Chains A and B, each alone.
Chain A
Amino acid sequence: MPRITAEEVRVVAHLARLSLTDEEVRLFTQQLDTILDYVQQLQRLKTESVSPTTHVLPLANVLRPDQITPSLDPETVAALAPQRKGRFIQVPKIIETEPG
């Protein structure tokens, strides 16, 4: 029984904004299935006594003082974008939440 279906691959691809051909979906489903199968080996370990680790360093409450530090030059920022208009970054028109 496969660990991941072609349908799930399509959903993940959509969420990641990847456009895949049917051939790619087939290929990636098979490859991801192999990877998941490999990772599956971890399931054999007894982990009841191990607490989830999201940070490896025993650090907590790392804060910085509320002080303003210099920002980048807006010219540099705008130059980073593939498209710009003045000092704005230009993107294709977003219509989803716009009234009208």
Chain B
Amino acid sequence: MNYETTIGLEVHVQLATRSKAFCGCANNFGAAPNAQTCPVCLGLPGSLPVLNQAAFELAVRTALALNCQITDRIQFDRKHYFYPDLPKAFQISQYDQPLSHDGHLDIPVQEQTKRVRIHRAHLEEDAGKLLHEAGDGASLVDFNRAGVPLLEIVSEPDLASPDEAFTYLTRLKLILQYLEVSSCDMEKGTLRCDANLSVRRQGEAALGSKVEIKNLNSFRHVRAALRYEQERQVAALQSGQRIAQETRLWDAALERTRPMRSKEEASDYRYFREPDLVPFSVSPETIGRVREGLPELPESRKARLMRDDRLSSYDADLVTSSRRLADLYEATVALHRQPKAVANYLISELLAYAHVRSLEIEAVAVEPAHLAQLLQLIEAGAISRPVAKNVFVEMIESRVPPGEIVTRKGLGQISDGAALEGIIAQVIAANAQTVADVRAGKASAFQFLIGQCMKATQGKANPQRVAEQLRQSLSQQTGGS
């Protein structure tokens, strides 16, 4: 029996505004507990919310980038539930007149494009943060996060596998980063995801019972949890069991999901219109203007780089995998018209630099002019590649132009025959056995001698010249004996 999997995703993204959604408290991570709270976000009597213009604009911008329709008359509603992280005992959210609806996001699936429909994207406020203390039977509340603007992006159940869900999330995050609407940092919780999954026998018309999965702290966890849940549900169906419609929590340590103890018998959020917030609308002119002002999104940027710069699909994918990287690439190519060389250097050296230091690309400061100059030095043969690697690191860390670093430290490549002559003679004299091995036809021994010459010059020797001259010297000596 074959089974089909159906997955839908709910993504909450914190919008990168200066202040909160409905009050002027700062929206930033890491302040002292309850230092960013006021009567509005604490829900004190008599306080009134007023919507943050930037939050509204960022939400509209994102909705349009996700091809959503903006609702004519946008309204806010109160969603009621009791939880200590929710000071008003209701969350300002949107129910029947959300900010936007019916969009889509195209994702690559097996060399093809799959359209994932977006059900809706609406604005709401975040809740506070609960800390559970070990032992003493208390939980602690920090309301700094309460009232931070969130955009909730709900997909239709169009995803057919955990891998598709992973791709969707990766693409969505990339678009959000290109739009600069959120820091999208899952560790800091500025991007969060809940997933729901059901399985059914192939060909069956009705969807299976839907299981919601929470506590997913990274895209890898999302994929792992969905894989686990898919297997669990198929196994249950195969053994004749029924799947209960429930909410489960992902346990990353045990790599399994387990039922969550129920909050309330049935969710009864008693939505009603938020009387303190007026309706909102966006004129067709504004929609047109925002749409015009959207940045080039990763898909079309990739296509353009493949077409105009003749980058391979693989290179173009990597270069556009972060907006910062793509911007740096283009700014460098504008100064040094060697797209392939620029892309290669960024992919091999910059990504490695960031990876080794566990840094985000965004955190690495590279001047396009410096990178262009470094590539010119390499191409002109002024410095060797091993030296260039070190100059690259120093150029990032000191922000000094590479040309200056090379001059100051005397790192220029040694291509001068006479200068290399002496070094080669020393290496030959010091490695008699290896020299004999080379004469016996051992190729690796020859490479070793080149290595010794490079070492003697701290990598400054031009390796091709060294190889040529070394070969010459060895054959002359043979001839002479």
A66, A72, A95, most chain B CB atoms within 10 A: A66
Q: Are A99 and B251 in contact (CB under 8 A)?
A: yes
Checking B52, B75, B261 against A96 with a beta-carbon cut-off of 8 angstroms, the contacting residue is: B261
Given A15-B268, A69-B24, A72-B39, answer yes or no on A77-B34 (Cβ-Cβ < 8 Å).
yes
The reply to whether A54 and B75 contact each other, CB–CB distance below 8 Å, is yes
Residues of B within 8 A of A49 (CB): none
Rounded to whole Å, the gap between the CB of B62 and the closest CB of chain A is 16
Shortest C-beta distance, B389 to chain A (Å), equals: 44
Which residue in B24, B52, B140, B270 is a CB contact (below 8 Å) of A88? B140
Q: Is the CB of B268 within 8 A of A98?
A: no
Query: How far apart sit A90 and B141, CA to CA, in the bound complex (Å)?
Result: 6
Provide the bound-state CA to CA distance between A9 and B85, in Å. 26
CB-defined contacts of B39 to chain A, threshold 8 Å = 72
Q: A44 on the interface (CB 8 Å rule)?
A: no
| A side interface size, CB within 8 A | 41
Decide: B37 and A15 in contact? CB cutoff 8 A: no
Q: Does B132 contact A (CB under 8 A)?
A: yes
- Decide if B260 is an interface residue (CB 8 Å cutoff): yes
Find out whether the CB atom of B24 lies under 8 angstroms from the CB atom of A60: no
The answer to whether A78 and B139 have CB atoms under 8 Å apart is no
Residue of A nearest to B280 (CB): A61
Residue of A nearest to B249 (CB): A99
Per-residue contact bits, chain A 37-75, to B (CB 8 Å; 1 contact, 0 not): 000000000000000001101011111111111111010
Looking at the assembled complex, report how far the CB atom of B19 sits from the nearest CB atom of chain A, in whole angstroms.
5
> Beyond A77-B42, A87-B33, A97-B214, is A67–B139 a contact (Cβ under 8 Å)?
no
Asked if B278 lies at the interface with its beta carbon under 8 angstroms from chain A, I say yes
Within the assembled complex, what's the spacing in Å between the Cα atoms of A65 and B142?
Answer: 25
Query: How many angstroms from the CA of A50 to the CA of B5 in the assembled complex?
Result: 46
B139 touches A74 (CB 8 A): no
Provide the bound-state CA to CA distance between A96 and B133, in Å. 14
Min CB distance A71 to B, Å, is 5
B220 at the interface (CB under 8 A from A): no
CA distance A86 to B138 in the complex (A): 13
Give residues of chain B (125-149) contacting chain A, Cβ–Cβ below 8 Å.
130-133, 137-143
Is B55 in the interface zone, CB < 8 Å from A? yes
Flag if A87 contacts B32 (CB, 8 Å): yes
Contact between chains at A99 and B38 (CB < 8 Å): no
Q: Are B264 and A71 touching (Cβ within 8 A)?
A: no
Contacts of B37 in A (CB 8 A): 71-72, 74, 77
CB distance from A8 to the nearest CB of B (A): 11
CA distance A57 to B276 in the complex (A): 11
A1 within 8 A of B: no
B26 within 8 A of A: yes
Contact B26 A71 (CB under 8 A): yes
* In the assembled complex, B17 has its CB within 8 A of some CB on chain A: yes
Residue on A nearest B80 in the bound complex, by CB: A15
Residues from chain B with Cβ under 8 Å of A63 in the complex = 50-53, 56
| CB atoms of B263 and A88 under 8 A apart | no
> Chain A contacts of B25 at CB under 8 A?
68-69, 71
A94–B33 touching, CB < 8 Å: no
Q: Is the C-beta of B36 less than 8 angstroms from some C-beta in chain A?
A: yes
Docked-complex contact B263 and A96, CB < 8 angstroms: yes
Q: Is residue A20 within 8 Å, beta carbon to beta carbon, of the partner chain?
A: no
Are A90 and B270 also in contact (CB < 8 A) when A55-B275, A55-B278 are?
no
Cα A98 to Cα B137 in complex, Å, equals: 13
CA–CA, A14 to B268, complex, Å? 11
Is B261 in contact with A54, judged by CB distance below 8 angstroms?
no
* Complex Cα spacing A64 to B270, Å: 28
Q: Which residues of the partner chain B approach A55 to less than 8 Å between Cβ atoms? A: 275, 278-279
Question: Using a CB–CB distance below 8 Å, which chain B residues touch chain A?
Answer: 17-19, 23-26, 32-39, 42, 50-56, 75, 80, 82-84, 130-133, 137-143, 214-215, 249, 251, 260-265, 268, 270, 273, 275, 277-281
| A-B pairs with beta carbons under 8 Å apart, 17 shown | A17-B82, A62-B278, A63-B53, A63-B56, A68-B25, A69-B23, A69-B24, A69-B25, A71-B26, A71-B36, A72-B37, A74-B35, A90-B140, A91-B141, A93-B132, A93-B139, A95-B261
Closest 6 CB pairs of A and B: A69-B24, A66-B54, A88-B140, A63-B53, A54-B273, A91-B84
